[in-house]
Amino acid sequence: MNRLPVLIANRGEITIRIARTCRALGFPTVAIYSDADRFAEHARYCDQAVWIGSSAPKESYLNAEKVVAAAKQTGARYVHPGYGFLSERPHFVEACEKAGLIFVGPSAESMRQMGDKIQARATVDALGVSRVPGSKGAVANGAEAAKVAQKIGYPVLLKAAAGGGGKGMRRVDSGAEVESAFEGASREALGAFGDGSMYVEKLILEPHHVEIQVFGDGKGGAIHLGERECSIQRRHQKVWEETPAPILEKFPKTREAMFLSALKITRGVKYSGAGTLEFIVDEKGNYYFLEMNTRLQVEHPVTEWVTGTDLVAMQLLLAAGEFELPSIPERRGSAIEVRLYAEDPHTFLPAPGKIGLIQFPSGAFVRSDTSFSAAGEVSVHYDPMIAKISIWGRTREEAMERLRVALDETRVEPPRSTDGLQVGSLRTNLTFLRRLVRHERVRSGDTTTDLIEKSPELTVPLEVQVTREMAIALALQHFVQVSEIGSKIQNLEGIRSSWSLRALEEGLRS
């Protein structure tokens, strides 16, 4: 079939992921790039690449006019927005349509109806799906927020209507804090999203974040592709996503009810393409609608692993008018994704920089989505994610074991000076992820959204851990030397192979 070009309005790992499926289906690809991405892999990967502006996102990837102009100039027929940047902006959908381009995603109307958090709450109310209790719409000021909070009971969350990535969100425990929290959160939201409107939600304690992947045909037909649990978060942002959701293994009836709610919403708004309905599930198995992401999600690979589908292929075929809604796919086995970031593993603050060495795991059940294959640079201008590593196993235990090995095989290091020392600003959360996969609560599936906060051992700096482990090791050594029974201990390997000691050695080596 003679297929027309797809412009991918994004960068890095996302562009490569989408371009790979375009290639498989025979769609020529067009990349866009900014100054900072002049030598980026994603621009080389596509059939054509267009420079669209300077490094600041506003001047390039967030500039709808420039993106549309690049599509027109290259003869592209489709625009795939990826995720982030312009992917949830209705005005961008309209700009594409006005220029005669086909936007690969939902209509501008669906985006307004579901992408806007306050509007989405009203939509699900009308459809009879339960959402987190809270204000009906936006609240104008601290006093109004306090009134709602009084009614639903503290603690509450003040949330930005235009929020994303955990920005513009504040926990409030009492009436005395409302005013200043409102001011602060609203100011933060205004700065980050150009919109300071706020709403109030009851804070669900010890919650699980569970989301349902859906796909609609735009005519009222829709399927779901199972759930993902993304409860392991730092700064309200996901670092670990998996399916099946451990919490729903305990509450299978909740899972079925959530699927029905997700389908009700997707069909109800005649949604077109890939979308995700996010819910909060409490310890008793109650679930509440949180928001909808009207786009492909970062964590879509775990769904692809267990359903054997290619969500990007479904999106492209729907846009090209060649799509027929399949039946709800069966889900097989278990899949986990972790996000490898250029960030400090103790504070989670971005730590981008030049990469000297990078190596990803390989094997039949591991997938590394990245735009770095050789030395490159994690740019200060964009999201500091280096890669997503995902794994499939027949069971959760098997997936966890495979992930443990995969993370041990992964290497990302800054460049070295001529005398072999690591130089530069790059740091990664690799040691943190290695701790996570070995953590007892993670292994047992007891994963609430406050897990990281409540597990300081995950983030304690290596040096502190080193001191503790060294003290134990020295004490043991002393014991072996001086005691009678100690002399009978032949083999110290058992102690040496404990993970923290290996981490210690690794830390000391690097």
Could you tell me which stretch among 13-21, 203-211, 344-352, 375-383 binds ligand ADP (CB under 6 A)? 203-211
- In this structure, what token pair is assigned to residue 45? 């990967």
Q: Is residue 132 involved in binding ligand ADP (CB under 6 A)?
A: yes
**Nearer Cβ to ligand ADP (422/455):** 455
Tell me the one-letter amino acid at 157.
L
Instruction: Report helix, strand and coil shares of the chain as percent, to nearest 5.
Output: 40, 25, 35
Q: Which residue number, 201 or 217, has a Cβ lying nearer to ligand ADP? A: 201
Residue 398 CA to residue 489 CA, distance in Å, equals 33
Q: Which residue from 87, 449, 459, 465 is in contact with ligand ADP, where contact means CB under 6 A? A: 449
By the rule CB under 6 A, 112 interacts with ligand ADP: no
- Phi/psi for 4 (5° steps) reads -90, 155
- Both tokens of 124, joined, read 């699900």
Contact in structure between 74 and 89 (CB atoms under 8 Å): no
Q: Least distance to ligand ADP from the beta carbon of 120, Å?
A: 10
Does 452 bind ligand ADP (CB under 6 A)? Our answer is no
Helix (H, G, I), strand (E, B) or coil at 254: helix
Among 111, 204, 222, 245, the residue binding ligand ADP under the rule CB under 6 A is 204
Contact by Cβ (8 Å): 42, 22: no
Q: Which residue's structure tokens are 């267009």?
A: 50
**Residue tagged active-site, from 121, 295, 434, 435:** 295
| Residue 57 binds ligand ADP, judged by CB under 6 A | no
Tokens of 287: 């679930």
Q: Between residues 211 and 304, which has the closer beta carbon with respect to ligand ADP?
A: 211
Cα 25 to chain centroid distance, Å, stands at 26
Which residues fall within 8 angstroms of residue 47, CB to CB, at 6 or more apart? 5, 28, 29, 30
**CB-CB contact of 394 with 335 (8 Å):** no
Near ligand ADP by CB under 6 A: residue from 207, 268, 273, 393: 207
* Chain mean position to CA 340: 11
Q: Which is nearer to ligand ADP, 148 or 157 (CB)?
A: 157
Any contact of residue 201 with ligand ADP (CB under 6 A)?
Answer: yes
Please list every residue from 137 through 166 that binds ligand ADP, using CB under 6 A: 157, 163-166
Q: Decide if residue 189 touches ligand ADP (CB under 6 A).
A: no
Q: Does 191 bind ligand ADP (CB under 6 A)?
A: no
- Asked if 118 interacts with ligand ADP (CB under 6 A), we say no
For ligand ADP, the closer of residues 277 and 466 by Cβ is: 277
Q: How far is the CB of 159 from ligand ADP (least distance, A)?
A: 6
CB 44 to ligand ADP: min, Å: 32
Q: How far is the CB of 205 from ligand ADP (least distance, A)?
A: 7
Contacts with 108 (C-beta within 8 Å, 6 or more apart), sequence order: 90, 91, 93, 94, 97
Count of beta carbons in the 10 Å neighbourhood of residue 180: 12
Chain centre to alpha carbon of residue 9: 19
Per DSSP, the three-state class of 453 is coil
Q: Judged by CB under 6 A, does residue 278 bind ligand ADP?
A: yes
Q: Give yes or no for residue 290 binding ligand ADP (CB under 6 A).
A: yes
Per CB under 6 A, the list member of 42, 209, 224, 388 interacting with ligand ADP is 209
Residue 446 C-beta: closest distance to ligand ADP, Å: 16
How many residues in total does the chain contain? 510
How many Å from the N-terminal Cα to the C-terminal Cα in the chain? 52
Nearer to ligand ADP among residue 77 and residue 236 (C-beta):
236
Cα separation of 453 and 432, whole Å? 13
- Residues 225, 299 contacting (CB under 8 angstroms): no
Which of 34, 449 has the CB closer to ligand ADP? 449
Using alpha carbons only, give the angle 166, 172, 178 rounded to the nearest 5 degrees: 110
Could you tell me the CA-to-CA distances from 132 to 58, 213, 229, 504 in Å, in that order?
A: 33, 19, 18, 44
Query: Is 295 designated active site?
Result: yes
Which window, 204-212, 239-247, 333-341, 356-364, contacts ligand ADP (CB under 6 A)? Answer: 204-212
Q: Which is nearer to ligand ADP, 51 or 193 (CB)?
A: 193
Instruction: Quote the least distance from Cβ 238 to ligand ADP, whole Å.
Output: 7
Measured CA to CA in angstroms, residue 490 lies from 102, 425, 469, 485 at distances of 70, 43, 20, 10
Nearer to ligand ADP, 161 or 433 (CB): 161
Q: How many residues bind ligand ADP (CB under 6 A)?
A: 19
Q: Which of 21, 74, 197, 233 binds ligand ADP (CB under 6 A)?
A: 233
**Which residues form the catalytic set?**
295
Residues within the interface to ligand ADP (CB under 6 A): 132, 157, 163-166, 201-204, 207, 209, 233, 236, 278, 280, 290-291, 449
